[in-house]
Every structure is written in C-alpha cells, then in structure tokens.
C-alpha cells in the first residue's frame, strides 16, 4: 500500500509539472505571437520546428499547425542559396555541412549568427529577411535548440536598390554633362565633385578631393579669393551667377573659367554648403584675343595707310621743291650738302611710307608672273654682299614649280627684310637657309586660317636662321607696325609688318616658329600661278598605303590632323602626346609598329631622346621626325643614327602621305 501511495503522489506531481509547463509554453507562445512584425521560429537541436509564431505565419503564409514538427531549411529557404552557403561552410570547416547544420553551426560555435537570407512563402513569393539565429542552452550549458528571429527587409532592400540606382543616375548625369561640378561644406572643404573637376585638379577621381580645401590644390594661390566667394554665397544665401576668373592648372598654365555658385540648403532651409559649376573658356578667350588682335591689326593698317597716303602727298611737295631748288643752288659745297641731306631724308621717309602702305594693302602693286626662285637667288646674292661674312647662306630650292602672280619688288623686299632680320639674330655668325617646296592646301586649312586662302597648289618659302630665337612673350606681336625689340634708332618696327602686308596682298599666308637659343623659321605660302597648275597626274595626289603608325606630338591639333590624314589613306594610327607616353606605347608592342612619326620639341622627353630610346629597343625601327623648327646639327646627327627623314611643320596631307609612303617603301 505504501508503494501504491507513493506512485500516486509521483503521478500527481508529474501532472502538476506538465500542467505548469503547458501553461508556461502557452504564455511564451502568447508573448511570441504578440511580436507580429518578426518571424520567430524555435527548433530543437535537429532543426524540428517547436514554436512558430503569428509573425512567422504572416511572413511565410503557413499556419503553425502546418510546420510545427517539420524541419525548416527545405520548407522556407531558397534551395540554391542554401546550397551555396553549405558549400561555403564546408570549405571553411573542412567537412560536409548540409541542411539545418548550415544555420546551426555558427550559432552553436559563437552563440549566435546574423545574416541575410531569402524566405520562400507558401504562395511562391520570395522575401528578403535579416535572420538572427541564437543557440538555446540548458542548465548544463548544452545546446538544446535554436531560436530564430527574422525581420522582413524586402521593402528596405528595394528602397536601397532604388536609392543606389538614383545615386548612380545622378552620378552619371553629373559626370556626363560638359561642366565642372563641385560642392563644399561651410568650412570650404570639398564634399564631392564630378570627374571633370577631379581631372582639372590633377586628381585620380572625386574621392581624392573629399575633405580637402582649395589651399591643397594646384590653384592654391587663388584659394583666398575662392574662399571669399564661398563666404559671400554662404552669408547672403544668394547665388553668384556667370562670372569669370583665372586658375592655375596642374601643369602650371593659367586657364580661364566661367562659373556660378549657389547655396546648398537643408530641408529646413538652413545653408550648409556651396554648389559650384564652371566651364573652361580658355580656348574661347584665346579666340577672342586673336579676334581682337586681328581687328587691331586691321585698324592699325587703316590708320597707317591713311597717314602714309597723306605723308606721301607732303613728300611729293618736298621732292618737287627740292628738285626745283637744285637749279638755284650756287656752287657752294655747304649748300649742296644741305640740299643732298633733304633729298636723302625724303627718300628714306618715302621708303617708310612704302612699307606702311604695303602693310595696309593700299599700295598699288604690279600683277605679273614672278619666278620666286629667281627672286630668292637675287636676294641671296644681295645679302651675301651686305651681311656679316661669317653667316653662311644656304639655298635649297626644291619646288618643281616656282611661279606666282604678284609684284616682284614687293616679294624681293619681303625676303630681303626677313634675311636682314635673320642676320641681326646671328651677331657671331651662323647659317641662313632659304628653301622652297611645293604643297597642296586643302579646304580644311583654308577654313580655319585667318588668311584669305583658296584651296590648291602653293609654293612654300622657308627662311630659317640659327640665331638667338624669339622670346615666347614677344612672338605674338612681331607683325605689329612699330613694334620692335631693337634699341632706339636701330629699327622702325615696320619691316615684318610690311612682310605681313605683302603676303596678304599676294593671297598667301605667313607663320613663324622659334625656339630661344636655337633660331627662327618663317614659312610663307604663295598660290602658284595658273599656268603652273597643269602638273603631272601624280602631283597633289595622296598616296594610299597600309601599316601601323605611331604618331608622337604634344600638339593635339597636329596629332588629330595626322591621324585623320593617315587613316584616310589606309593606315592604322596610334597617338601619344609626348615622348614618355610614345615610348611607353612602343614598349607595349615594339615589333608591330611599321613607322614612328616623332615631334622634335616636346615636354618631358624630346623627339631626339625618344628616337634614341626607341632605336635602342628595336634598332631597325623606321622613324620620321616632324617639327616646325629643328637645329641642322641635331637633324644631321639623327640621320647618321638611322633617321629616315624629316617633315617640316605645318605639313599638309600630300606631304605627310608621301613621306610616310616613301619611308615604308624605302
């Protein structure tokens, strides 16, 4: 009886415990079901679902009755995602990890794990969730199950994706528009910019500017002014629109910018920074300056022509009166000397007015066929008798045709002026070269030229000296009337102005290249006479060809011109903007360049050094040199080292095509 009574007591105690446990589970279920915004699933150590709250029912579309007692992975998780995670964990732990263990292994080891997963709803819809799995431990600290809490982040992820797309679109727009864009905080530190602005700053990308101020940029000398503009916008809350200012570029040059700055505001209207935009208007400013220069030259020409015309009338009176006076002068040596002084001075004044009228294009000119080769030979003969004997005069008259329509006296005077100027630049002696060649001018050059040119065959006359050269600051002004660098009494400043006027009067073009310490080279283009236009069928024709040509030139216009000409002839063209880049491109594929065309004067590495570096890599490499000015000694030395030839700038399609064709066929 005692045993039976004891059993009854034990059973009663167990029932009370079970009822308490059931009440506790129901209370826990009630608490968990109240959390409808989160999916809560409790499993045993094998992954069998023991608790499935109402939040899980809402999120997954299953009822608790459908899933309690089943394993979760194959029911509610994306199968492909689960396989990928299992493979990742298997590789990490060096043993197979599959199924529910893919969720449990980290939680068992670390206590908990959080990561994103894809839940599959009963209706097939997929939801992205943030799942935190925590290991449940008993009183002995042994894992007895797992507690999983998932929050649906599908809408948040969608919003984040849309935000990223919106940011990407905004970034693409900002980086695509041909305007520099930047924004700063109230302290003047950059918050961001577009790629164009970063490039102007000499930075790899926009991130390199974030947190930096103007004091740390290449334009630091203007930092105080920029900061003042920023403060004006920040303090006034008003935009500063459409103003121009200068800036120092990474290469040290000065560029001109047209910009605007506007305040950046919070949603409450508080100004927290400055947004700025600008465009590089340097090229436009240069074109404006060229236009002003051209207009100034026209105005000066008109003024000079008017003065010279009136002065000629006065000189006519002086000459007439002096000649009439001649018959009344007694045989007095002193009187005769004074009379001669009047005549000589008047003749000199007449020469000056003649030059003024030539510049103004108002002096009547004869119009006849002129053999320029004869004019050059006569000029060379005269110069040889008058200039320093230490100056060697070299004639290279290579043009097949040399007749132009014009005034021989004006052409003779122009060449003589250039020759005398060249001799003044060589006080210790040197070499004066007079050369000609025949070129063809195309419509493209005629359109961009400031001279009145007509497409067709031209005679190019080159006057080159080995003298002191012309300073870069002086070069733009050398054709201005009365501008001279000579000391007072040694020059009128009308010589080159008269040359300019003569070239214009003959519907030609004149340009100048100079390098201080190396010399100066003038190029004159004159249209050939009509009877010279009946050339051989091959004359003026471009020579097609094939091959891979590397063109290295620091002038973008020359690079693009060469590329367009050579590609139209059938060549493949690779471009480089200086010797360093050219050498780098050549090193990448040295055996697959048929020809290299090198500029001589370039920053970082000049043409001579680049030529030698290329030939050291591939001794048989064919190379042409191209330049507006090159020392004769340098050219001769490079030819001895294997240079194939020399193309003088500015070159035209026929000349470049023929030179490349000859170089590849030779």
d(CA 355, CA 275): 56
CB contact set of 87 (below 8 Å; sequence gap of 6+):
none
Q: Residue 216 has which token pair?
A: 């740390």
Amino acid 548: pLDDT: 93
**C-alpha dihedral, 194 to 198 to 199 to 204, nearest 10°:** -110
Q: How far is CA 67 from CA 28, 57, 60, 120, 267, in A?
A: 18, 10, 11, 14, 49
d(CA 149, CA 37): 10
Of all helices (H) and strands (E), which one includes residue 299? helix 282-326
Place of tokens 């998780």: 77
d(CA 450, CA 289): 13
Quick check: 526 and 508 in contact, CB under 8 A?
A: yes
Mean confidence (pLDDT) of the chain = 81
Distance of alpha carbon 560 from the chain centroid: 13
Instruction: Name which of 275, 320, 655 is nearest 458 in CA terms.
Output: 655
Reduced DSSP (H G I as helix, E B as strand, rest coil) percent helix, strand, coil of the chain, to 5 = 45, 25, 30
**Chain segment 246-292, per-residue pLDDT in tens:** 777 777 777 888 888 999 999 888 999 999 888 888 778 777 766 67
Quick check: 347 and 316 in contact, CB under 8 A?
A: no
User: Which letter does DSSP use for residue 506 in this model?
Assistant: T
**Backbone dihedral angles phi then psi of residue 36, each to the nearest 5 degrees:** -75, -15
Q: Indicate the SS3 state at residue 367.
A: coil
Amino acid 534: pLDDT: 47
d(CA 495, CA 480): 10
Amino acid 492: pLDDT: 45
d(CA 313, CA 139): 126
**Chain segment 443-500, per-residue pLDDT in tens:** 777 777 778 888 889 999 999 998 888 877 777 778 776 556 554 444 444 568 788 8
End-to-end CA separation in angstroms for the chain: 128
Amino acid 119: pLDDT: 93
Which residues of the chain fall below pLDDT 50? 2-3, 27, 34, 361-365, 487-493, 534-539
**Backbone dihedral angles phi then psi of residue 485, each to the nearest 5 degrees:** -100, 0
d(CA 109, CA 106): 5
Instruction: Name which of 281, 261, 285 is nearest 273 in CA terms.
Output: 261
| Three-state SS annotation for 544-612 | CCCCEEEEECCCHHHHHHHHHHHHHCCCEEEEECCHHHHHHHHHHCHHHCCEEEEECCCCCCCHHHHHH
Complete edge-to-edge strand list for the sheet that includes strand 240-248: 190-193, 180-185, 271-280, 254-265, 240-248
Instruction: Name which of 278, 245, 279 is nearest 262 in CA terms.
Output: 278
User: Got the DSSP string for 32-79?
Assistant: HHH-TTSEEEEEETT-BEEEE-HHHHHHHS--HHHHTTSBSHHHHB-H
Instruction: Name which of 65, 64, 86 is nearest 74 in CA terms.
Output: 86
CB contact set of 569 (below 8 Å; sequence gap of 6+):
542, 543, 544, 545, 657, 660
Amino acid 358: pLDDT: 52
**Chain segment 514-558, per-residue pLDDT in tens:** 888 888 999 999 999 876 554 444 445 667 888 999 999 887 877
pTM of the predicted model as reported, rounded to 2 decimal places: 0.38
Q: What angle, rounded to 10 degrees, do the helices at 282-326 and 333-360 form? A: 150
Amino acid 488: pLDDT: 42
Residues belonging to the chain: 666
Count CB-CB contacts under 10 A for residue 438: 20
β partners of residue 370: 404
Amino acid 475: pLDDT: 77
Amino acid 166: pLDDT: 83
């Amino acid at each position: 009886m005692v045993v039976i009574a004891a059993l009854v007591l034990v059973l009663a105690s167990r029932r009370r415990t079970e009822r308490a446990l059931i009440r506790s589970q129901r209370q826990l279920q009630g608490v968990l079901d109240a959390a409808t915004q989160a999916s809560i699933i409790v499993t045993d150590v094998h992954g069998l679902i023991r608790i499935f709250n109402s939040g899980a029912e809402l999120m997954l579309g299953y009822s608790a009755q459908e899933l309690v007692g089943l394993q979760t992975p194959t029911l509610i998780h994306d199968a492909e995602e689960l396989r990928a995670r299992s493979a990742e964990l298997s590789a990490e732990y060096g043993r197979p990890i599959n199924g529910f263990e893919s969720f449990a292994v980290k939680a068992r080891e670390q206590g908990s794990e959080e990561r994103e997963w894809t839940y599959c709803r009963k209706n097939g819809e997929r939801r992205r969730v943030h799942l935190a799995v925590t290991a449940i431990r008993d009183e002995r600290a042994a894992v007895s199950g797992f507690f999983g809490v998932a929050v649906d982040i599908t809408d948040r992820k969608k919003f984040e994706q849309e935000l990223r797309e919106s940011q990407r679109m905004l970034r693409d727009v900002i980086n695509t528009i041909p305007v520099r864009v930047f924004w700063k905080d109230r302290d003047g530190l950059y918050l961001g910019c577009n790629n164009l602005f970063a490039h102007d700053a000499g930075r790899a990308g926009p991130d390199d500017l974030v947190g930096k101020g103007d004091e740390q940029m290449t334009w630091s000398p203007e930092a105080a002014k920029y900061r003042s503009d920023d403060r004006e916008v920040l303090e006034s809350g008003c935009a500063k629109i459409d103003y121009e200012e200068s800036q120092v570029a990474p290469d040290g040059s000065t560029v001109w910018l047209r910009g605007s700055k506007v305040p950046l505001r919070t949603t409450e209207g508080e100004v927290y920074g400055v947004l700025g935009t600008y465009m590089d208007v340097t090229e436009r400013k240069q074109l404006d300056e060229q236009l002003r220069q051209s207009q100034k030259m026209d105005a000066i020409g008109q003024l000079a022509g008017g003065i010279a015309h009136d002065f000629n009338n006065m000189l006519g009176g002086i000459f007439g009166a002096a000649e009439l006076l001649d018959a009344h002068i007694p045989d007095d040596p002193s009187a005769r000397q004074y009379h001669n002084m009047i005549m000589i001075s008047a003749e000199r004044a007449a020469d000056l007015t003649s030059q003024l009228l030539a510049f103004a294009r108002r002096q009547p000119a004869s119009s006849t066929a002129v053999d320029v080769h004869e004019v050059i030979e006569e000029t060379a003969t005269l110069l040889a008798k008058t200039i320093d004997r230490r100056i060697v005069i070299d004639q290279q008259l290579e043009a097949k045709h040399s007749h132009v329509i014009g005034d021989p006296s004006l052409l003779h005077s122009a060449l003589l002026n250039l020759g005398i100027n060249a001799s003044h630049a060589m006080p210790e002696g040197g070499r004066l070269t007079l050369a000609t060649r025949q070129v063809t001018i195309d419509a493209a050059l005629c359109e961009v030229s400031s001279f009145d040119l007509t497409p067709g065959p031209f005679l190019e006359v080159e006057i080159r000296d080995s003298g002191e050269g012309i300073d870069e600051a002086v070069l733009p002004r050398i054709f201005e009337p009365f501008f001279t660098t000579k000391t007072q009494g040694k020059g009128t400043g009308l010589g080159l102005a008269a040359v300019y006027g003569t070239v214009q009067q003959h519907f030609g073009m004149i340009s100048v290249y100079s390098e201080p310490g190396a010399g100066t080279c003038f190029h004159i283009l004159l249209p050939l006479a009509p009877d010279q236009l009946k050339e051989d069928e091959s004359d003026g024709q471009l020579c097609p060809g094939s091959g891979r040509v590397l063109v290295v030139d620091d002038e973008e216009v020359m690079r693009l011109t060469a590329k367009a000409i050579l590609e139209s002839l059938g060549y493949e063209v690779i471009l480089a903007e200086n010797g360093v880049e050219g050498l780098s491109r050549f090193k990448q594929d040295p055996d697959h360049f048929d020809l290299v065309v090198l500029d001589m004067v370039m920053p970082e590495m000049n043409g001579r050094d680049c030529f030698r570096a290329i030939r050291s890599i591939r001794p048989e490499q064919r190379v042409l040199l191209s330049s507006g000015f090159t020392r004769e000694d340098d050219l001769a030395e490079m030819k001895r080292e294997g240079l194939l030839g020399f193309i003088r700038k500015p070159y035209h399609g026929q000349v470049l095509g023929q030179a490349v064709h000859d170089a590849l066929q030779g």
